[in-house]
Amino acid sequence: MALKGSLNEASLPDVLQLLVMGSKTGCLSLAVNDAGGVICFMNGRICHASVDQRDLGTEDSVYAMFKWTHGQFSFDPGVSPPADVELVSVDPQVLLLEGARRVDEWSLIEKRIPSFDVVFALDRQRLLWNSIVLTDEQQKLLPLIDGFRDVTALMSESRLGEFGTGKALFGLLSGAFIVVVGGREPEVIVSDGVISEHRNLGLAFYKARMYADAGREFRRITQLRPSDSGAAFYLGLIALRDGRWFDAIAAFQTAAVSTPRASAVFVNLAYAYERLGQYEKARLALDQVVVRGLRTDPVVHVSVAALALQRGNLEAAAVALELARNAWSGRTPRASWFHYAALESSMRGDLDRAMNVLADGVASHPTSTVLLSNLSVVYEACGKFAEARATSVRAASASAVATARR
């Protein structure tokens, strides 16, 4: 005998109880607004369940339908589940108890996550300082939360289901480890010509050292095309020049989402962290170059050496400096290499080597104020006062020229 009715009058748990008590075999169909689902029984046990257009297992499908409080249901006895589905055997009583708990929890979750279109981003600084043990589900979601995936995408890629994903996100929200950055909206289609116009202007302003104007053009690109990594990268560089370290970090993190294989992004991100004194975060950023299999630029090794010196690890610094020198393959290293190589020697108490390194650096980079100033200090420490004075004058002159060019 067929059974039909409204979920307004008889809840799904009540209907399931009735079918269980009667040890029924057949399929229960539900229709709510534009959604639909089916729960199939065999001798009073659930053998299959599914929700239309949603990739959920049997148990998660039943839990999803527990949230439906209106619509129609219809039970057709003797009807078998589709031939191509995997059959299970689940005690409905277990699902009823778990379902009741989930419905209660979901009422709290949906207050914080009202739509599956919500997009979250990580608060990476808070996560790095976190001492709370995260659940396995939360750990699984963290690599997927990137400021672009919405809840639906997170559910699909994590395979945690609606409740598992929602509960994990609720916990991360409660701990302030993630923040809402908007809803998933289709990116406005803007012609490449318009983007190129802003990009060309931005690059021209940047090369002319008109950084405020360059920033305006690159910000316009990110407004028109939020996923444009090049614009985010230049906004990060401009922030570095202005000493806006937090803004630089945010920009480079955005660029890293779309261009995860660009080593320059992580090198500059590490530099911003270093300037804030957050050396562990800087090291983690540089580690990404290796983890992602990127081409190891000599600058990366120099940055690693700088961080090692900050921690007083002279052996690690020496290794990184040697790797950097080899990576330049006979070419003249940048001024930064001479600076850190001399610093490493000084920290070892080898002032003669530091003096020789700086002298070589000045020969290769005669207008480097930093190298000239450091060489002057080392000359003075070695008792070479005439050389110290002459080098100090050269440093002041180089500094005046550099200031005039700005």
Closest CA to 306 of 331, 333, 342: 342
The band of 127, judged by pLDDT with boundaries at 50, 70 and 90, is confident
In DSSP notation, 254-322 reads HHHHH-TT-HHHHHHHHHHHHHTT-HHHHHHHHHHHHHTT----HHHHHHHHHHHHHTT-HHHHHHHHH
Structural domains present in the chain? 3-107 (no CATH), 113-183 (1.10.10)
Q: What is the pLDDT of residue 319?
A: 86
So what's the pLDDT on residue 101?
Answer: 85
pLDDT over 90 (residue 202): yes
- Tell me: the pLDDT tens digits for 53-105? 888 889 989 988 988 888 999 999 999 898 888 899 988 888 888 888 888 88
Q: Residues 181-186: what's their mean pLDDT?
A: 56
In the chain, the percentage of residues whose pLDDT exceeds 70 is: 92
**What's the confidence (pLDDT) of residue 291?**
58
Share of the chain above pLDDT 90, in %: 33
What is the spatial distance between Cα 257 and Cα 266, in angstroms, rounded to a whole number?
11
Fill in the DSSP letter of residue 26: E
Say which residue, 401 or 119, is predicted with more confidence.
119
pLDDT of residue 213: 93
By mean pLDDT, which of 9-23, 27-41, 119-133, 179-193 is the weakest? 179-193
Mapped onto helix, strand or coil, the DSSP state of residue 380 is helix
Separation of alpha carbons 224 and 191, rounded Å = 10
Instruction: Output the average pLDDT for the chain.
Output: 85
Q: What are phi and psi of 117, to 5 degrees?
A: -90, 0
Residue that wins the pLDDT comparison between 260 and 366 = 366
Note the pLDDT of residue 257. Answer: 66
pTM of full prediction above 0.95:
no
pLDDT, one tens digit per residue, over 311-338 is 788 988 888 888 888 888 888 998 989 9
- pLDDT at residue 200, as a whole number: 94
* Predicted confidence (pLDDT) per residue in 20-59, tens digit: 888 999 999 999 888 899 999 999 999 999 999 888 889 9
Give buried/exposed letters for 233-249 (b at 16+ CB in 10 A, else e): bbbbbbbbeeebbebbb
How far is it, in rounded angstroms, from Cα 104 to Cα 102? Answer: 5
Mean pLDDT (whole number) for 288-302: 67
Taking only the tens place, the pLDDT of each residue in 367-402 is 999 999 999 999 999 999 999 899 989 888 887 766
In this predicted structure, the answer to whether residue 249 has a pLDDT above a threshold of 80 is yes
The pLDDT assigned to 296 comes to 60
What average pLDDT does the segment 149-168 reach? 86
